[in-house]
Structure formats: C-alpha cells, structure tokens
Amino acid sequence: MHYRQLGTTGLNVSVLGFGGSPLSGAFHSTTDEEGIRAVRTALDLGINFIDTSPLYGRSEEILGRALKGVPPSRFILATKVGQYPGEPPDFSAARIIRSVNESCARLGVDYIDILQCHDIEFVELGQIVDVALPTLAKLRAAGRIGHIGITGLPLKVFPAVIRQADPGMVETILSFSHYQLNDTSLETLVPYCREKRVGIVNAAPTGMGLLTDRPPPSWHPAPPAVIAGCRKAVDFCTAQGVDIVKLAIQFSISHPGLATTVLGSASAGNVRKNVSYAEAPIEFELIAKVLEILKPIRNHNFTRGRPENQDPIVS
C-alpha cells in the first residue's frame, strides 16, 4: 500500500481509503459481522484512512466494534457533522457538539482525527463559515478533534467556503463522484487546493455504483444517458475479462493531487480485491479504451442542494 500526505495536516494516508457507508446496507443487505470483517481486513492490508458519518445509519456503531482493541496509530478516522437520519440539516453549535459526543460514543474513541461538515450544499453557506467552522475550531483547540474538513457533491461549494473562511480553517475537502473514469472535473480544483494548502479526499471512484457489474442503486441521481454510457464501459470490460472496478481504482489513485480515494465495502473479499487492484500494475491500454468509450458522457454531471450551491449541469 502506498501513502500520501493529506494537505498540510501531517497525516500520511493510504491512497485507497475505506468508506463506511455500505456497513449499514446502503448498497445491498449485509450483516454486522461481515462489515466488521471488512474493516479488519482493510486494516490488515494497509488501509489506514476510514471515513464515515452519523448519516450512514449504524456505520459508526459497527466501526466502533471493528476498531475495538485496535491501536489508534493504525487508523486515521474521519467522520462528519450536520446531517443525520430523519433530521433536517443542522450545523448549529449545540448540535455539532452533541454530534461529536454521540459519534465518539458509537466509535469507542475520545478523539477524531478529521471532523467534516457533511454535504454543505443543503444549507446557506454562511452557516458553515460563521457557525459550523468556528465551532469545529473550538473543538480542535480543545483537543477533541485533529483537523477540519468539508464535504459535498457540487464542486463550487468548496472554493466558496474556503475563500470566506479564515486561512487554515478548512484543512481538507471530500468530493465524491467527480474523479472517476467518466468524470474528472475534480481535477480543476487541484491547483486551487494546493495553493490554499487544503488536502483532497476523493470518494466514490465507481460513481456510487455506476462503474460496477451491478446495476446502480435505485436512488442514484445520475441521468439515464450517464447510466447508459457507463454500462457500455462495464460491458466492454466484462467482454475483456476485466473487472471495471480494477480500472476505476487504478485510474483514481494514480492522480498525485488526490491524497486518498475512498471506496466503501462491507465485504472482506471485495476489500481484498480492491487492495490487489490498487497494488497491481496499472492497465494503461485498457483504461485508454474505456476512456474513449466514455468520451460522449465525459464530465456529464448531476447536482443537488440549494439552488445557489448547485453546479451548472453539463449534459
């Protein structure tokens, strides 16, 4: 496993990270025991970056069981605040503090390496700049958390918040579904983040299921043309006897400006495959052919959030 520095946090993160959302059955049914085996397999194979959220159902609880007895030096734990099951978005100071306490209890820790404002596109960004980030800064000063991040789907929200916040306040961003075989638009933010000394976490290199041999989940927001275009690439890889997930992982982790690429799984077997894909020689020729197949939908996107926070649609 290779590792990269995450911005200026001082954290050395595995280029392939573990995403906790599947642990509670977000993509298909699973059991706690399967999820625990997946987490421990990831750690044993050198993955040290783990990302989760209170919004992901019982993910934090299952992670807490999986991490019990594991030395904290073996993992870098990132979780989030602001989005919760069955609740409207809430980035108030009181809810953030309560959320941190709840997350620590579920995870079985008293310190969180990176605490992120989750899916900030759903609120007025002034709440993030004026309330949420200062609250996280107080938690950081008190030693409850190590570093501060923000996450979201629309790319425009990241510079919008970073330029309004105090220098050094935002240390990481987590972007998903924007650096993968069919969409590389996150690349446009790499120079900006480097200038602002912000580390980049890339998530969902398979496009939340678009680039796998399974149909994407029913809730997937991609338009039909993108789903169909990705299916052509999947079918091509299947005909070549290659798992497109291998190419998706290799493509994403090869970008030096992305510290880690987070891919979730509740299957120990899939974790082993994903790590083997990350460590195998890169299939440059096949990747080039897949990129050519995906060219008609290159950077065709989907967006969400408050109207002023949404990215322009490319189709």
Residue 56 is a catalytic residue? yes
What kind and span of H or E run contains 199?
strand 199-203
Choose the catalytic residue: 3, 56, 84, 179.
56
Q: 192 phi and psi, to 5 degrees?
A: -65, -45
CB 259 within 8 A of CB 153: no
**CA 226 – CA 245 distance, rounded (Å):** 17
CB 273 within 8 A of CB 245: yes
**CA 1 – CA 130 distance, rounded (Å):** 39
Query: Crossing angle, helix 244-253 and helix 224-240, to 10 degrees?
Result: 110
Identity (one letter) of the amino acid at 171?
A: E
Task: List CB contacts of 59: < 8 A, sequence separation 6 or more.
Answer: 20, 21, 23, 24, 52, 53
Residues in a beta bridge with 3: 14
The catalytic site residues sit at 56
